[in-house]
Amino acid sequence: MTERPASRLQDFARFELLKLAGMIAHCSKAGEEPSIAKEVRLWGAENDAAGLAGGEGDILVFEDAKPGVQAGKAAGMKVVWVPDPNLRALLSKENEDLNADQILESLEDFEPEAWGLPPF
């Protein structure tokens, strides 16, 4: 994971800390936890002690991939899923939302006020 000051990213300047994960999760065995899930858990454990991670449910994750949604939810985080339209079309209705807290067609549809954040 790469840590960058939030001030470098104009649209996200309201956030104290921004974690960007540019990883693709690969599982070598069926049922094995995706590597991104391990990274999320490790980051949460390391930063919780430093007071950076917030309480359970205080972290909002934006994800485009199924493993990232699963990892965020497993780590007790709120997850906004922004799937590729082609991926979403392939998923069945019962598997569609993966328990994401919100599903968006585009990041432009995100309304920060709905999450208690200041408006853009």
C-alpha of 85 from chain center: 18
Looking at residue 8, its pLDDT comes to 45
pLDDT tens for each residue of 64-87: 888 888 888 887 888 999 988 887
Distances in Å between the alpha carbon of 77 and those of 1, 29, 47? 17, 25, 14
CB neighbours of 27 closer than 8 A, spacing ≥ 6? 33, 34, 35
Is the Cβ–Cβ distance between 37 and 75 less than 8 Å? yes
pLDDT at 73: 85
| Structure confidence by residue, pLDDT tens digits, 15-26 | 555 555 444 344
Q: 64 or 120: which carries more pLDDT confidence?
A: 64
Listed by start position, the domains of the chain span: 52-108
pTM above 0.75, yes or no: no
